[in-house]
Chains A and B, each alone.
Chain A
Amino acid sequence: MAQYMTTHGMAAKGVAFSAPEERSIQLRNVTKRFGGVTALNGINIDFAPQKINVLLGLSGSGKSTLLRQINGLHKPTSGEVITLGTDVHTAGAGRLRKLRRNVGMIFQHFHLVESMSVLENVCTGKLGSLGGPRLGLFSYPRAVKEQAMEQLARVGLADKAFQRADALSGGQMQRVAIARALIQEPRVLLADEPVAALDPVSSATVMTLIGNIAKEDNLTVVCSLHQVELALEFSDRIIGLRGGELVMDRESHSLSLKEAHEIYEAVAVVSETELAQETSELAAVHQS
């Protein structure tokens, strides 16, 4: 695996994009409504470039919606989202696709095609920079397949490349999903509850992997979590969300466990409106 690291292209690229503004994400007064439900309410954040930013909050607090603002999977109802210098709200389809090539994303439920091989799943991450539709592993150029093998080696799953994705454990699937994001050679990595479907041991493995890769590739990471302990351990910065509003934005090292827990405690009694918001937000996320 060591020899993969040296041949890996990202190390060189990392230098080219080392200027912090190249990897910046800014949200200005972002509001997002689904029907009558306000999922995000006047959010202002500058995410720390090349750092691990963790979004903490209950389900339904707007974490998923916020992540999807960054790569334009959802567009804001009002306000401005500037990702890597692109205004997501006004960007056309072509511009948005160009932006998304530089923004990797991983998901709570991995989102792999279970009947396809691991290698082919990783290759689909490259579709954004390839022309034309592709069906089957042989439709990808050899260079892409080799890149996919490199990324699989980085996440420690090179030996599983030709197995079907559904033959893997949950933790392994998430690592494949990370490899799929990395093959894009992204500058930003979005992670939507990456460990919520995993057991504690796999969670730690996956979070460590994300942390190491972020350092190696100088990635700006925005990751939503709901475990306070994990967030404190792996993040550089913690952003608390509650009911679609920003309630905390702190450097992790200055934050105590007790303080971090307060993001949840203030809403220990979940009101009915918040529950309603949660369900309709989820529904909206699934619909889009």
Chain B
Amino acid sequence: MTATMERPAQPPRTSVLPPVPKRPVPNPHVVAVWGIMIMLLGGGAWSLWELEVTPANVFGHFDNAARFIERAFPLNWPPLSELLAMTAETLGIVFLATGFSVFVSTPIAIMAAASTTSGRFSWTVSRLVIIFCRAVPDLVFAIILFRLFGLGALTGILAMGISSIGMIGKLYADAIEELDRGPSEAVEAAGGGRWQWILSTVIPQLIPQMIATGLHRYDINLRTSVILGYVGVPGIGYYLSGALETMQWQRGMALALWVLMLCIVVELISMGIRAAIMSPSSGDRSFLGLIKAADRSGWATHEPVRTRSGAVRVSPPWTGARWMRFGGIGILVVLLVASLIASNIRWEQIPRGVERFIPTISEFIPGTQGRFVDYWLPALIETVQMGLAATLLGLVLALPVGAMAARNVAPTPTVALCFRIFIVVNRAIPELILAIVLLVILGFGPVPGVLALAFGTTGLFSKLFADSIEETDVRVQNALRAGGATRIQVFFGSTLRQVAPAMVAHIMYQVDNNVRNSTLLGIVGAGGIGYWLMQTQAQLAYDVLSFLILSVLLIVIVLEAIAVYIRNVIR
């Protein structure tokens, strides 16, 4: 368009100027991404309609809410000793699961990182293992392992442990690839073999990241463990599901509140430790700083440190840092022993499970019992609908919340602060607990599930949205404002445009996540395929169970593939 304006009177063929540039053909991948996004959002609107997530359905049950409060209060707390015992059991199982995963993920990540892998073959195999563990929901591992090992802690530890490999393995592999290769090259140049340089230079550099990722996953596994209580994994979740199934609302709500507090406390502790590990400078202000300051007094000579007998000292002196390191290792050992005691593992289940492995495989040959069209297909569709609906609803709610939480958009700093606090609180509440409360108020069905997922999605999107608004290039905003644009015009004209790529990636990620989680919420009564996973397991219909598991897997893998494609296009 501009080109034709520049040279209006030029005869087309005799020009000495370069030819008019053709109008660029739109990149087909970008068009495809737009198509996918429109389909997802359209699908979300259709799902909200189909699942009848209407204001009437949501707000028309206030009498239920009143009745619920009547039924749930006063809270019926179990005896303190019992409460502590089940808490210890849960924390122990989660600790062992996370520890197992860290232990197994490390060698897998070494194989899966380009800088440390031994070859194309091991790289491919380890990446496939990671993708598989990520794609299969924890619940599915739990159901299969339940068949092998029966009721008990072992099933939960292995289910969460294996499932966590998907995240931990991937993050470890990424972290290894970002490490400084220099020290490894130095050891190689000194004649060190592959495992020598991996252990002496890669692992020491990786350790802070290993601990931080492990702690992060501990938080996630703690929430998951409550859901796994529904399929028989011991701990708080087990008692919670028992209380709700027998309609002991007062006991159930007490336990739900306890889980909520536990999640918040554990998250705060893990956030504190992570911050201290990942940025050593921030630790200087805390008590760590005092120990470090004491350290620095050091030695003033250039002579080697000697022991009392006069020999040169070759083992490190007991400085603050060394005490901390040993203290940390000591705490880990104590926690490991305590977890082994608290989780009541029945070790005799291991040989039994291994024995059953082969016969179990034959039970799990998939079949539909001819009810695919009547039962399974609608349930699968419902699960996907819940995921789509929750994503759209969460996104719509997040737009105003996120904008208000951003300091440079909110009318006053206080407003921004209030919305920020709302986001933090929102992120701390486990979706499961919210879903349980909503299920009691609104009755069984997909609506409470959608609302619970949408609530969590709102938190995530608002945070992302607010962060990106605060971090975007303000020069563009200033330029628009200088041109006389209003606040709203600036927001749509520049801010939204700049945030868009990150938003697109996160929308896809969240659809993926919500479909997975709606499967989980199904087992607590929110409908969809989760319900049938529970039912078929209870009826020992393993052929159908494995068919449903494969269907869920297929959906998750398709969504994951779309997400990867979108990330590659918009990068």
Contacts and interface: CB of A to CB of B under 8 A. Distances in A.
Question: Is the A/B pair a real complex?
Answer: yes
Interface of A: 1, 71, 73, 97-101, 103-105, 107, 109-117, 119, 121, 124-130, 132-135, 137-138, 142, 145-146, 148-149, 152-153, 156-159, 161-164, 177, 180-181, 184, 190, 286
Given A97-B193, A127-B191, A184-B191, A107 B186 contact: yes
Interface of B: 180-183, 185-193, 195-201, 203-205, 207-208, 298-299, 301-305, 312, 314-317, 319, 321
B190 A162 contact: no
A100 B189 contact: yes
Contacts of A149: 304, 312, 314
Given A135-B203, A149-B314, A105 B186 contact: yes
A124 B188 contact: no
A135 B200 contact: yes
Contact of B186 (A130, A156, A177): A177
A121 B192 CA distance: 13
10 contacts: A107-B186, A113-B205, A121-B183, A124-B186, A124-B190, A127-B187, A128-B191, A152-B304, A159-B304, A180-B186
A126 B191 CA distance: 8
B316 A100 contact: no
B420 to A, nearest CB: 34
Q: Please give me the 6 A-B residue pairs with the lowest Cβ-Cβ distance, nearest first.
A: A128-B191, A111-B182, A158-B304, A100-B191, A145-B314, A127-B192
Contacts, number: 130
Identify which of B187, B193, B200, B312 gathers the most chain A CB atoms within 10 Å of its CB.
Answer: B200
A59 B225 CA distance: 57
Contacts of B181: 286
A27 to B, nearest CB: 18
Given A105-B186, A134-B200, 6 more contacts: A105-B189, A126-B190, A137-B315, A162-B305, A177-B186, A180-B190
B305 A146 contact: no
B190 A100 contact: yes
A237 to B, nearest CB: 23
Nearest to A156: B302
B22 to A, nearest CB: 30
B299 to A, nearest CB: 5
Nearest to B319: A162
Given A100-B190, A101-B191, A111 B302 contact: no
B302 A97 contact: no
A159 B189 contact: no
A138 B326 CA distance: 13
A104 to B, nearest CB: 7
Nearest to B179: A113
A127 B205 contact: no
